[in-house]
Amino acid sequence: MPEILVVDDEPGIRELMREILEEEGYEVRAAENGTAARAALDAKVPDLVLLDIWMPDVDGVTLLKEWKTQGRLIMPVVMMSGHGTVHTAVEATRLGAFDYLEKPVAYKQLLETVRKAMDTRRVTPTTSGSLESLGRGEAIKRLTQRLHLAASAGLPVLLLSEPGIGEDRVAQFLTPPDGPFVQVDDATLLADRPADLLLRAKGGLVFVPDMAALSSMQQKGLALLVARRAEFATRVVAACQCPPAQMMAEGKLLRELHDQFAHAVVELPPLRARREDIPELAARMLEDACARLLIPPRVFSEAALALLATYDWPGNLAELDALAGRLALEETREPVEPANIEAILGKPAKATGPAGIELMLHLPLKDARDAFEKAYLEALLEECHWGMSRAAERAGLDRTNLYRKVKQLGIEAPGKDK
């Protein structure tokens, strides 16, 4: 069901529009000001935004300009104002607004404008397929949303990844429909014939799987691909396992290349950060392995699936797939039990936080949950160098909720005065 975000500081207008639009079969969220609108967009991108121009904290035109600059204007936005001018309407349209409505908005005009705006959503998709092969949990949904934003903005994308996560599948997802996918396995082509790569990938995507392994000349070739991508209607995606700022500080990355990718660095969530995906992925991989080997199917027991979710999987999807292959080759067709998994992987290590927290069976459930959340967030924030945006993405939270949790649990950055 299409969703509309109504942003207006007048409660009566918000509720009236909610009532009208819900009667027409739309889902409606409401935001009372610019701050709430930002939070709503962080949480989920709607199909359409009805945006008031005059609001107490930030005007709608400024908000529209902000979304465009950030590459987040991937949904139609209809501006509204009771004190509009021709200049304001022209400015909003220039910035990317779909249309402009004067308040009070007539019933028929509202519905007709909404219908036309929704029709613009039925355009050719900008990506290929889905990321369900990586999982279907909240972290993958957020990743999909982030990738759509980068693709719509036309930005070169750098995938920050651990080994085995599936960055090639993410790059294939970012390939325009029906466009060629060109993976650069021979990096010498970047230094010798970068224009040939653009010709081969015209209308599609060039993927460089390991940017950290490129020589200085190969990096210059990649920078050329990025600079000329618009001429060939080609997207450029690279992957690496080291943050680009760290690579540049160590003299391993050209500043030009760092700056080209700086606006769309997308961190791919490791398997241990989305444990809810593991049982379904494992079951699918075991089924696929049996089919690939032309042998009778084998399945996991419920206890085995639960056990799989407790491992940390440093090799991520590749490691899980390798396990499925080994289990498929075992002579028995009996369901896989925990003992079969432990015979290959050993027993999973007990998860401990900064204070050595394990099961905490001596605590009431609420206290144990709070202690775990505090330990988890402290460890995650430390790993993310106390970058709240990056930590929020890793945790599958929006920034507002993360800030609230940090304050509620009394978490403070090291060195902060108390």
In this prediction, residue 122 carries a pLDDT of 53
Is the confidence at residue 256, as pLDDT, over 90? yes
Looking at the structure, do residues 216 and 159 belong to the same domain, yes or no?
yes
Looking at the structure, do residues 211 and 307 belong to the same domain, yes or no?
no
In this prediction, residue 115 carries a pLDDT of 92
Domain's final residue, options 251, 269, 287: 269
**C-alpha span between 277 and 132 (Å, rounded):** 10
Q: Is residue 128 part of a domain?
A: no
Is the confidence at residue 70, as pLDDT, over 50? yes
CATH number for 373 = 1.10.10.60
Look up residue 78 and give its two tokens: 């209809």
In this prediction, residue 359 carries a pLDDT of 47
Please count the structural domains in the chain.
4
In this prediction, residue 357 carries a pLDDT of 43
**C-alpha span between 51 and 73 (Å, rounded):** 13
CATH number for 197 = 3.40.50.300
Q: How confident is the model at residue 417 (pLDDT cuts 50, 70, 90)?
A: very low
**pLDDT, tens digit (0-9, with 9 covering 90-100), for 179-211:** 999 999 999 999 999 999 999 999 999 999 999
CATH number for 110 = 3.40.50.2300
Looking at the structure, do residues 182 and 244 belong to the same domain, yes or no?
yes
Looking at the structure, do residues 364 and 339 belong to the same domain, yes or no?
no
Looking at the structure, do residues 295 and 226 belong to the same domain, yes or no?
no
**pLDDT, tens digit (0-9, with 9 covering 90-100), for 300-346:** 999 999 999 999 999 999 999 999 999 999 999 999 999 999 999 99
Contacts for 282 with CB less than 8 Å, ≥ 6 apart: 300, 305, 308, 320, 323, 324
In this prediction, residue 69 carries a pLDDT of 72
Q: Is residue 130 part of a domain?
A: no
Element (H, E) at 336: none
In this prediction, residue 188 carries a pLDDT of 95
Average pLDDT, the chain: 86
Q: Is residue 132 part of a domain?
A: no
**C-alpha span between 185 and 210 (Å, rounded):** 9
**pLDDT, tens digit (0-9, with 9 covering 90-100), for 215-233:** 999 999 999 999 999 899 9
Is the confidence at residue 418, as pLDDT, over 80? no
Is the confidence at residue 170, as pLDDT, over 60? yes
Q: Is residue 37 part of a domain?
A: yes
User: Once rounded to an integer, what is the mean pLDDT over residues 335-361?
Assistant: 71
**pLDDT, tens digit (0-9, with 9 covering 90-100), for 374-415:** 777 888 888 887 888 888 878 777 777 788 788 878 788 765
Looking at the structure, do residues 404 and 290 belong to the same domain, yes or no?
no
Looking at the structure, do residues 169 and 286 belong to the same domain, yes or no?
no
Looking at the structure, do residues 334 and 378 belong to the same domain, yes or no?
no
- Give percent above pLDDT 90 in the chain: 55
Domain that holds residue 61: 3-119
Contacts for 216 with CB less than 8 Å, ≥ 6 apart: 254
In this prediction, residue 365 carries a pLDDT of 60
Looking at the structure, do residues 227 and 186 belong to the same domain, yes or no?
yes
Q: Is residue 125 part of a domain?
A: no
Q: How confident is the model at residue 97 (pLDDT cuts 50, 70, 90)?
A: confident
In this prediction, residue 354 carries a pLDDT of 44
Looking at the structure, do residues 164 and 230 belong to the same domain, yes or no?
yes
In this prediction, residue 353 carries a pLDDT of 45
Half-sphere exposure in the Cβ direction for 141 (13 Å, CA): 13
In this prediction, residue 356 carries a pLDDT of 42
Q: How many CB atoms sit inside 10 A of residue 227's CB?
A: 13
Domain's final residue, options 246, 269, 292: 269
Q: Is residue 386 part of a domain?
A: yes
Looking at the structure, do residues 249 and 288 belong to the same domain, yes or no?
no
Q: Is residue 216 part of a domain?
A: yes
Is the confidence at residue 360, as pLDDT, over 70? no
Domain's final residue, options 92, 119, 146: 119
Strand partners, 77: 49
Element (H, E) at 269: none
Contacts for 413 with CB less than 8 Å, ≥ 6 apart: 381, 386
Looking at the structure, do residues 175 and 241 belong to the same domain, yes or no?
yes
